[in-house]
Amino acid sequence: MTDYNYNNAQIDTDTLPSIQNIEFQALDKSYLKVEVIGTTIIWLIIAGSVNTGFFLSNVKPTWVPYLILGIFTILITFSYVVTIKGFYRKGYALRQLDIIYKEGLLWKKQSLVPFNRIQHAEVNQGPIERMFDLGELNIYTAGGSSSDLSIKGISKEKAMSIKHFLLSKTAMDEEK
């Protein structure tokens, strides 16, 4: 136990390695296309069901459909702006002992998972992601589903190699 070689043990808290000034790695550019396609599909589904709803039911005040159409236009524009601008806010960083992921435009979030708390990691690939050869890296801890870290939009190869790196780190942890 004494041979554990963490070199920072005695360092003053003011000189701790800080997360604040970290350089994040951007996601794969093609993931922006995946996100735009995803948003479009969702809106098509919503528009389809709303239309069917109108078709089936007889809405009484005739101005209601126009009002809904107006609201929808605003919502759709907003969601595309958030999707595109939000894409450039996402990024991840690997440090010696932990992995950090940041995201969010209006609601920003930076999550940090130490390697020695990772329970397992997996790489997934959705149908649209497969077209662009992208992968999704999911990292699980015992902290519950709301805290699990998910990095979408990196090449599948990269996702796999990060996963192997993480698992080798956690395996080392267990040996000690």
Partner 1 sequence: MRKNNTSFKAKQRQSQWAIIFIVISFIIKFLKQLWPILLALTLGRGSGLEQYEIIAAGIGGLSMISSILSYFKFYFYISDQELIIEKGILKKVRLDLPFDRIQSVNFEQNFLHQILNVTSVEIESAGSEQKELKIDALKIPIAEKLREEILKRKEQISADTIALESTEIIDHATKHNILQLDIQKLLRVGLTQNHLKPIGLLFSLFGSLFAYGWTVDGLNPIEMYNYVRSVVSNANPFAYTPWSLLLIPFTVLYSLVTTVLKHYDLDFSRMGRRFHVVRGLFNKQQFSAMDKKIQIMSWSQNPLEKKLGFHNICFRQARSGDGKKNKQRFEIPGCSNEHVSSVKNAWLKKLSQEFRQVHTVSVHLFKHTLRYQLIFFGALIILMSFLTQWGWLSIIVIWAGSTIFLTWKKYTKTTYALNPDCLFIGGGMLGFKNSICPIYKIQNLALTQNYYQSKRNLATLKIYSAAGAMNIPYIEVDMAYHLMNRLIKQVEISQKSWI
Question: With CB under 8 A, what is the number of residues at the site for partner 1?
Answer: 38
Closer of 37 and 75 to partner 1 (Cβ): 75
Q: Please, which of residues 55-114 interact with partner 1 by CB under 8 A?
A: 60-61, 97-98, 104, 106-114
**Sign, CA torsion 148/153/158/159:** positive
Count CB atoms within 10 A of the CB of residue 13.
Answer: 5
Count CB atoms within 10 A of the CB of residue 30.
Answer: 14
Question: CB under 8 A: which stretch of 10-18, 38-46, 75-83, 127-135 binds partner 1?
Answer: 10-18
Closer of 126 and 143 to partner 1 (Cβ): 143
Binding mask 134-163 for partner 1 (x = CB under 8 A): -------xxxx-xx-x--------------
Q: Which residue is listed with tokens 């806010």?
A: 89
Among residues 123, 124, 121, 157, the alpha carbon closest in space to that of 139 is found at 121
Residue 22 and residue 116: Cα distance in Å, rounded? Answer: 20
Residues in touch with partner 1 (CB under 8 A)? 1, 4, 6, 8-9, 13, 16-20, 60-61, 97-98, 104, 106-117, 119-120, 141-144, 146-147, 149, 176
